[in-house]
A and B are shown apart, each in its own frame.
Chain A
Amino acid sequence: MSEYRAIVLEQRAVLPTGVERTFGREELIVSKTDLTGNITYANEVFCRVSGYQRDELAGQNHNLIRHPDMPRCVFKLLWETIANEKEIFAYVKNLARDGAHYWVFAHITPTFNAQGKVIGYHSNRRCPDRAPIEYFDGIYKQLKQIEDRHPDRREGLAASFNHMVGLLNQVGVSFDELVFAQTPR
């Protein structure tokens, strides 16, 4: 417990340096979490890219690596989708222990037990191309701005979420379709 606290406190102090880090095109960052998002498994690539040790990650909430540039509405959509037992794809900017950031093309799926009940989540993250990073970076900046405009966190989240849904409706696509449209084969 004391160790857990220590890492959380340290993480709060991590300031983004603006340094970008990437990983291999044939590599996967893999993690598994329980239903509340606490990490139960992290692979070697996760440890190397995020800068955390295996035993530091185990038991931590996945938002340990959340980058402050990320709009919260994306995570809201993400959680709502997997809670509905569906897979989701999203481009996400993550924060490493040393303040560097790394973009991932994340695929998150529910994990079912033999009885068909969801017992946790599994995430495979791939190294994205430059074009979709630029595209989603632009959208996320816009959403983040809307979110930060509200002094009340909940109102900010509702505003950015509505804006995101409005954008999708305007183009007439689902979030999934937008993500795949930006993802080269």
Chain B
Amino acid sequence: MSSFLPKPLGNSVTSDLVREVTLVARGAAAGDLEPRILMIPDDDPLAPMALAINAMLDSLDAYVREASAALTAASEQRHHRRFIQRGMPGAFRRGAATIDLAAGAIAAHHEALAAIEVRQEGVISEQKSVMDANAQRIAGIAATIEKFAAGTRMLGLNARIEAARAGDSGAGFAVVADEVQAISERIARAAAEIATELKVFQTDSARASTEVRQKKTGENGRIHRDQRAA
């Protein structure tokens, strides 16, 4: 740093000022926008220059502060915190307008994402409730079939008893009664299989909708991380 400092001038007050100006300007060039030239004697011929450099630093400092704060807020979804263009002259204001536009685009993106999430959730829950209703209806039909099968089995049993009571003349009828019983058992087994398959289907559909929700949350996390990195 010292090699950048100017050689002392004859006037010691001016020399001090030049030294401070140089330090502050070099600091700013190195990214330190905090220091200002503080010791500015009013009667120094270089005072206007020192004040001009302070004014330049104030604009730069404000711009960097605003740019950083506005974009941090946008990435954290505090969209009310904008880049305040007031107080920013010329190129600073144009830059501010660009950053404000970008922050607005990030806000719109977040809103669109949120809307998609709501829509997806609606579609999924709608589909799920339709499937659930269908499954319920099929379960009801299966239960009815089981009831009919039980009734038919009872009918077959009764027919066999009647056939036995009729003796030899009922032998042919007994064969039919046996068949009726066998059929009713097969129907009952088929109805039970439908009910089992239905249970598997309902479990699968519940798990699928949970997985979709989890995957969605993961994707949103990734999107937000990307925005923070950008």
Contacts and interface: CB of A to CB of B under 8 A. Distances in A.
B192 interface: no
Interface in A19-52: 25-28, 30, 32, 40-41, 43-44
Main DSSP-derived SS at the A contact region: mixed
A124 interface: yes
B141 interface: no
B183 interface: no
By CB atoms of chain A within 10 A, which of B65, B80, B81 has the most? Answer: B80
A43 B54 contact: yes
Nearest to A124: B62
Contacts of B65: 109, 122, 124
A110 to B, nearest CB: 11
B87 to A, nearest CB: 4
A124 B87 contact: yes
Contacts of B36: 32, 41
Given A44-B55, A105-B86, A26 B80 contact: no
A126 B38 contact: no
Nearest to B80: A180
B84 A40 contact: no
A131 interface: no
B55 A176 contact: no
Contact of B80 (A27, A107, A176): A176
A19 to B, nearest CB: 23
Contacts of A105: 84, 86
A181 interface: yes
A140 B2 CA distance: 52
Interface of A: 25-28, 30, 32, 40-41, 43-44, 54, 58, 87, 105, 107, 109, 111, 122, 124-128, 176-177, 180-181, 183, 185
Given A41-B36, A180-B82, 13 more contacts: A25-B86, A26-B89, A28-B62, A30-B62, A32-B36, A40-B38, A44-B51, A109-B65, A111-B34, A124-B65, A176-B81, A177-B80, A180-B81
Interface of B: 34, 36, 38, 40, 51, 54-55, 58-59, 61-62, 65, 69, 80-82, 84-90, 93, 100
